Every structure is written in structure tokens, then in C-alpha cells.
Amino acid sequence: MGTRKRSLRTGSSLASLFTGLATLGALLLAAPAAQSADAPLRDLADAKGKVIGTAVTGSKLSGTYAEVAAREFNWLTPGNAMKWESVEPSRGSFNWAEADRIVDFAEANGQQVRGHTLVWHSQNPGWLTNGDFTPAELRTLLMDHIDTEMTRYRGRVAAWDVVNEPFNEDGTYRQTLWYDGLGQDYIAEALTRARAADPSARLYINDYNVEGVNAKSTALYNLVRSLKERGVPIDGVGLQAHLILGQVPGTFQQNIQRFADLGVDVAITELDIRMQLPVTDAKLAQQAADYRAVMDACVAVDRCSGVTVWGFTDSDSWIPDWFEGQGAATPYDENYAPKPAYDAIAASLGGTSEPPGEGCTATYSVVNEWNTGFTGQVRIDCADTALSSWRVNWTYGAGQRINQAWNADCVQTGTAVRCSNASYNGTVPRGGSVTFGFNGTWSGSNPVPVVSMG
Ligand code: 9MR
């Protein structure tokens, strides 16, 4: 049993390491000059005066999920906890537990909260949607709901999505409980009531498919203009940005700018970028470019307050449940390993664009080999840099396949292997190291691959 090592960078000086133990191998690849890992996204965003937010699920706010949510984001949006069906499941009977938990967590971590959402056609309780209410009763119910929820969190929720998704794709008003009962002025009535309930909160209308210039965003634009003209309180528009890989609208920045020119703020409120599974490196690279384009469009416009992602990890995303065969829409994978999209967000906010792991070295070793199987190991050494997460990649040249890994999350697509830290070992201190292992199969030969980090 033994190891063979060589370096791509200084191959000749390592000739002595070719010890003739030819069947087993290791490869050392030194990455370029040391560079500290990026600051957390929220520090980068704070320095730019921008929001970097995430939707969160209250019941998940512990362990790694809580650590990442607190470390990386300066705003939180309850994904579901503040919706009507969550807070008043039966009439007059309230449940604030999850919403309270999120607001408390945000305050404990110096984060602001985006309230979501007060007036919507969806996720309303059955007693409301099935009730046979007169317009006057509906109005009272809606106004009381706004009062109750906004008063509870008065001064603690910095911005509210007061009205959610009021338009159809063609720019006509969506026929909802509220539109049908109260007419289109339910929007103005709700905003006016919201201002009275919490004068300190920024009041928004929020919708999807309004990121580029199109019929729907133009309807929203015309509504905001007319509300401003009438003196109805409106502080901003939320562009949800549930996007499809490779389809960031070319008019994104222009659209943000035209709302800004109306004298309102713009927030990107629910960003995710979904792809057809399985994940490939090419798709992740496209996704990173898409995240970068969205971030850059917001960063470029002063009145764009910032970007909130709709869940920060693929383990807490609505996409797989709603779009069959699609997913991987958020900046972190299911194991909290940051994806290239994370680096793209950081880079747009002024961080370095170094991928995680840059500045450390990875050594691939075959530590055991038999018949058609082998055990491999990768050791990451960080001499003069520290990491908060890492990724290691290689391509097998002789048909090897990994079938099990430990202390890392490894995915093999064709011949390409990509491993990222497990939730518990992403941190490598300066001068420290971390090791992970895997079992695989081989036949014919088992040459050592070229390993790279990032
Ligand atoms: O993320 C939310 C998901 O858990 C719910 O099942 C879904 C039900 O409609 O709502 C999701 O959030 C939506 C948000 O509240 C409004 N814009 C669209 C979001 C995705 O559906």
C-alpha cells in the first residue's frame, strides 16, 4: 500500500515523490495566491446600503439553517407564517407563533423583517374564502385583518407586501375575492388602512412576472402612478423574480428604473432561478450569471433597495413541489454548500469573485484498492487563508465512479465529480485542514485525476 504524488505546478521538483508505488496515486494541485474567503453577504450588502434578504420557515430556525440565515442575510421574510391562513386559521382564533419566532429571531440577529402578505387571493383561510360575505362585511374583515396584524408588529416590520399579485398576465385586474367584492379600489383602501395601522412601515405592492417591461408590469406601473397622483400611500413595488434559468429579462434594469422614476422604491422580493434537474456545472454557471444579472440590475439603481431570495437553500424551496423535475433554484444546495450563484451575489455586492476554496490546496489519494473497488480521500490544506465553505472538482479519465462519500457531499455527473463541504465541516481555519473520503469503482486502470478547488 502506498501513495504517488505529483504537482501540476512544480512537477519536476516533486519527482522524488514518484516512488514506484505505481498502482495507487495522489495528486497535489496548488491553487493560486492565498485570498481570504468573502465576507458574509450581509456585510457586503450593508456596505452598499442594500438589502440582502431571504424567505425563512420559522420551524427550521435552528442548527445550520439558523446559522446561515443569521450570518448571511440582513433581512428576513416569513415565507408563509404571516399569511392570513397561518395567522387566523379559524375566525377570531389567532396563531402568531411562527411569525413571532421569525420576528424575534430577526431582532436577535440585527435583521429587518419584510411582512408578507396582507391582501392576497391565495392562502386565505377556508372560513374566509367559503364565507358568503356582503361587500360591507368583506371590507370590515379586510380592514380588521390589516389593523390586527400590522398593529401586532408595529415598528418591528420595516416593509409590508400589503397587496400581493393583483394583476393577470395581460395587465387586467385579477378577479379575486377582493376585486369581486370591493372593486379595484380595494388596493387603495388597503394601502390607506395600512399607513394608519403602522406609519413607520414601508408599503408595497408585490407581483410576479413584472421584472421586465411587459403588459403586466406596465399595468402595475400605471396603477402606482395613479395611486401617487391620488395621494394614496405607496412606498414601493416588489418584483418577485421567480425566474427560469437563462431567462432574466433584458429590460430588468430599465423596468426597475422606470418605477424608481415614479418616486417609489423597488425591491426584488422573491428571487429564485429554477432549472431542469439534474444539476450540471454548465447549468450552475448559467444560474450564477443569471443571479449576477439580477443583482447588478438592482445595484445599479439607487432606489432598488435590494434583493431577497425565496429560500436560501435548495432544501427549503417551493420549486420542487410546484414544478415537476425542476429545482436547485437557490444559492445554496440542500447541504448548505454555496453554489456559484452565491459567489455571483457576493461579487455583485463588491466581494471578491473567488470561488470557495481558492487559496488552499487539495490532495487526492487512493488509500485502498481491490478488484474493482477503491477508497479515495481528498485532503484540503489551508496554509495562509481561511474558508467558510469549500468545493473540490475533478474529472475521472478511466471510467471510475464514486458510489458513496463521507464528510462531503459528492455528485458525479458523467465523468465530472463535484464535492462540497458537509454542513459541519465547511470552516477550515488558516493553517488548518479537512479530509473527506469516498468509495468508488474502477476497471482496467485507476489513474489519479487532476483536482481543483472552487
Ligand atoms: O413559498 C411559498 C410556499 O411554501 C407555498 O406553498 C406557496 C403557496 O402559494 O406560496 C409560496 O410563496 C409564494 C409567495 O407567498 C407569493 N409569491 C409566489 C410564492 C411562490 O408560490
Instruction: Annotate 43-109 with DSSP letters as a single string.
Output: HHHHHHT-EEEEEE-GGG-SHHHHHHHHHH-SEEEESSTTSHHHH-SBTTB---HHHHHHHHHHHHT
Strand extents, DSSP E, 210-343 = 236-239, 242-244, 265-276, 304-309, 326-327
Closest ligand 1 atom to residue 310 Cα is 1
Is the CB of 161 inside a 6 Å radius of any atom of ligand 1? no
Q: Are 197 and 147 in contact (CB under 8 A)?
A: yes
Query: Is 449 near ligand 1, meaning CB less than 6 Å away?
Result: no
Q: With contact defined as beta carbons under 8 Å apart, do 439 and 370 qualify?
A: no
Mutate to test the pocket of ligand 1, among 124, 164, 310, 315 (most ligand atoms within 8 A of CB): 310
- Pairing state of beta strands 391-395 and 416-421? antiparallel
pTM of the model: 0.75
Please give the distance, rounded to the nearest whole angstrom, from the Cα atom of residue 129 to the centre of ligand 1.
18
319 Cα to the center of ligand 1, angstroms: 9
Q: Decide: 414 and 369 in contact? Cβ < 8 Å.
A: no
133 in ligand 1 pocket by Cβ < 6 Å? no
Q: Catalytic residues, which ones? A: 270
The pLDDT assigned to 100 comes to 98
Q: Grid coordinates representing 14?
A: 516533486
Q: Which of 56, 80, 118 to mutate to test the pocket of ligand 1 (most atoms within 8 A of CB)?
A: 80
Check residue 423 and give its pLDDT: 84
Cα distance between residue 25 and residue 449, in whole Å: 9
Between the CA of 344 and the centroid of ligand 1 the distance, in Å, is 25
If one counts every other C-beta atom within 10 angstroms of the C-beta of residue 172, the result is 11
Provide the b/e sequence for 263-300 (b: ≥16 CB within 10 Å). Answer: ebbbbbbbbbbbbeeebbeebbebbbbbbbbbbbbbbe
Question: What number does the ligand 1 atom closest to the CA of 117 have?
Answer: 15
Q: Which of 120, 162, 270, 273 to mutate to test the pocket of ligand 1 (most atoms within 8 A of CB)?
A: 270
Two domains, one topology: 9-37+355-453 and 41-348:
no
Tell me which residue has its CA closest to atom 10 in ligand 1: 80
Q: Are 165 and 106 in contact (CB under 8 A)?
A: no
**Ligand 1 atom index nearest CA of 208:** 17
Q: List the chain domain ranges.
A: 9-37+355-453, 41-348
CB atoms within 10 A of CB 402: 17
Nearest residue CA, atom 4 of ligand 1? Answer: 318
Closest ligand 1 atom number to CA of residue 321: 6
Round to whole Å and give the CA distance between 186 and 209: 22
What is the distance in A from the centroid of ligand 1 to the CA of 310? 9
Residues 6+ apart with CB under 8 A from 229: none
Q: Is domain 9-37+355-453 classified as CATH 2.60.40.290? A: yes
Atom 13 of ligand 1: nearest residue by CA position: 79
Element housing 343 (H / E): helix 340-348
* 204 exposure class (CB count in 10 Å sphere: 0-12, 13-18, 19+): buried
Question: Taking the mean position of all CA atoms in its chain, how far away is CA 13?
Answer: 44
**318 alpha carbon – ligand 1 mean position (Å):** 7
Cell of 308: 431577497
Domain at 41-348, CATH from 3.40.50.720, 3.20.20.10, 3.20.20.80, 3.30.450.40: 3.20.20.80
Q: N- to C-terminal Cα distance for the chain?
A: 30
Report the alpha-carbon angle 103-105-108, nearest 5.
110
d(CA 79, CA 51): 17
Report whether residue 240 contacts ligand 1, using a CB cutoff of 6 Å. Answer: yes
Model pLDDT, residue 363: 94
Q: State if residue 270 touches ligand 1 by the CB under 6 angstroms criterion.
A: yes
Per DSSP, helices labelled H in 109-251 are 126-129, 135-152, 177-182, 186-197, 215-230
Nearest CA to ligand 1 atom 3: 318
Q: Are 285 and 268 in contact (CB under 8 A)?
A: no
All three cell numbers of 244, joined, read 427560469
Query: Does the CB atom of residue 318 touch ligand 1 within 6 A?
Result: yes
pLDDT in tens, the chain (454 residues): 333 332 222 223 333 333 333 333 333 333 332 223 468 999 999 999 999 999 999 999 999 999 999 999 999 999 999 999 999 999 999 999 999 999 999 999 999 999 999 999 999 999 999 999 999 999 999 999 999 999 999 999 999 999 999 999 999 999 999 999 999 999 999 999 999 999 999 999 999 999 999 999 999 999 999 999 999 999 999 999 999 999 999 999 999 999 999 999 999 999 999 999 999 999 999 999 999 999 999 999 999 999 999 999 999 999 999 999 999 999 999 999 999 999 999 999 998 755 667 778 999 999 999 999 999 999 999 987 788 788 898 889 999 999 999 999 988 777 878 898 888 998 888 889 999 999 999 999 999 998 988 7
Q: How far apart are CA 452 and CA 20, in angstroms?
A: 25
Give yes or no for residue 323 CB within 6 A of ligand 1.
no
Pairing between strand 361-370 and 236-239?
Answer: unpaired
Distances (CA, A) of 128 to 84, 122, 227: 9, 11, 27
CB of residue 57 inside a 6 A radius of ligand 1: no
R_g over Cα of the chain: 26
Ligand 1 centroid, distance to 106 Cα (angstroms): 21
